[in-house]
Amino acid sequence: MLTSLVLTVIGPDKPGLVGLLSHTIANHEGNWLESGMSRLGGKFAGILITQVPESQIDALIGALATLEAQGLKVTAERSEETPAVAKMQPITLELVGHDKPGIVREISQALATRHINVERLSTELISGSMSAEELFKAEAELLAPAELDPDELQQALEAIAGDLMVDITLR
């Protein structure tokens, strides 16, 4: 029987970390399924899901722990099957504006109060095309309840966008 493990990884960025991790998983009959990894602040950070035979879980977790000696800290948790979700509608959110504290907090609060789940979030600082000012850019894939009124969401986010001085586009 196969078990899914969610792994989070972090360490000083250097070549070979993905190879080190993938070899360790493969040596324990694991299958690398999905992942997202990035260089952030001089660190290599990521999350991935792997499937491994039940008989290999303890050995894999032990082997992953030894990677810390090589600079890669890995935590592993069993993936829980999520119950079937009621009908949901996908929404893509794009945001760009002058960088300032609180943008993610305000937007995520508005989404959470409407029971909208953030499936994927990607953020970055970019240089403004007309100035040297840093702009905050975010892209998110969301799942919203089927009964959600898109116009109400748009109006609520526009009110926040005005206060935050950002542009928000929903699709």
pLDDT 10s digits, 24-68: 999 999 999 999 999 999 999 999 999 999 999 999 999 999 999
- What pLDDT is stored for residue 44 in this prediction? 96
- What pLDDT is stored for residue 171 in this prediction? 92
Q: If DSSP states are collapsed to H, E and C, what string results for the chain?
A: CEEEEEEEEEEECCCCHHHHHHHHHHCCCCEEEEEEEEEECCEEEEEEEEEEEHHHHHHHHHHHHHHHHHCCEEEEEECCCCCCCCCEEEEEEEEEEECCCCHHHHHHHHHHHCCCEEEEEEEEEEECCCCCCEEEEEEEEEEEECCCCHHHHHHHHHHHHHHHCEEEEEC
- What pLDDT is stored for residue 82 in this prediction? 60
Higher pLDDT, 5 or 162: 5
- What pLDDT is stored for residue 127 in this prediction? 86
- What pLDDT is stored for residue 132 in this prediction? 75
- What pLDDT is stored for residue 84 in this prediction? 58
Domains of the chain and any CATH numbers: 2-78 (3.30.70.260), 88-170 (3.30.70.260)
